[in-house]
Amino acid sequence: MTSLKSSIFSYRYEHGRRYHAFHEGAYLVPNDDEEQNRMDLVHHIYSLLLAGKLHTAPIDNPQRVLDLGTGTGIWAIDFADEHPSAEVVGTDLSPIQPDWVPANCVFEVDDFEDPWVYKKSFDYIHARELEGCISNEQQFFDRTFENLNSGGYLELQAQRGFFMSDDDSIKRAVNAEVWAEAVRDSSNKFGKPIDCAMNWKEKVIKAGFVDVHEEVRKIPIGAWPKDPVLKEVGKCQVVQSCAAIDSYTPMLLEKVLGWGKEETQVLMAKAKGELRNPSIHLYLPVYFIWGKKP
């Protein structure tokens, strides 16, 4: 047990960043403090988009909850606080969650790509930002279905890996688009596509879920929206997007596509400069998908 515990903390360091040890190489994004700050900022962005709500599925006081890819555990902790009678389980490849958590919240180091061995089913399974994390999507959705109680819900929240705009300003985001295409290509080659959320509804239905709902919203990048809430979202998202470029790019472009370090760094800098340009009005589509097990 001691050697097992020490092994999951035997982090690997590369490109000046720290990466998970459990199932090393399964996920090409760091787990260091810089990345954890980005994860928590993502949670804040979703909180703004959802007016403080932690979910969109019409759940009714679920008593057993699973949060897949829990990251820092911030969603699971908040959900446990809001639902003190529920048992909330958060799983991740990295043991980076805090030690002091609500009594009804536990964290486990696990890979959801492995066979699921939960002894009890769940009433609600939550999965946020798992784009680029799943190699066999249909198997993943089938497993969520199998591990839910009748009447339980699966909820997915994910951004597309594709910049868009409602004006011509995207034409001046040449490097950002080159970066996004390279990340899409490298994630496909790695076997865990990052631009995938638009295909999930169909696969959720195929898994057996009913009353499947999909809502697509916009996450602006920058403070250009007139709506005050979206303006605040955009201010946060430009910081988050630039941090994501720092986190995702080196391993995907250099290790998977074989790019040189210098050309990678140059593209990263130019792409971030375009995202920070207030005259370029980019956004990312974000998908909210939920379904019910009959």
Secondary structure string (H, E, C) spanning the chain:
CHHHHHHHCCCEEECCEEECCCCCCCCCCCCCHHHHHHHHHHHHHHHHHCCCCCCCCCCCCCCEEEEECCCCCHHHHHHHHHCCCCEEEEEECCCCCCCCCCCCEEEEECCCCCCCCCCCCEEEEEEECCCCCCCCHHHHHHHHHHCEEEEEEEEEEEECCCCECCCHHHHHCHHHHHHHHHHHHHHHHHCCCCCCHHHHHHHHHHCCCEEEEEEEEEEEECCCCCCHHHHHHHHHHHHHHHHHHHHHHHHHHHHHCCCCHHHHHHHHHHHHHHHCCCCCCEEEEEEEEEEECC
The mean predicted confidence, pLDDT, of the chain is 95
Q: Which CATH number covers residue 218? A: 3.40.50.150
Higher-confidence position of 25 and 285: 285
By residue range, what is the domain housing residue 165? 4-293
Q: What is the pLDDT of residue 178?
A: 98
What would the pLDDT profile of 233-253 be if each residue is shown by its tens digit?
999 999 999 999 999 999 999
Question: Can you give the pTM of this predicted structure?
Answer: 0.95
Domain count of the fold of the chain = 1
pLDDT at residue 26, rounded to an integer: 82
- Over range 153-163, report the average pLDDT: 97
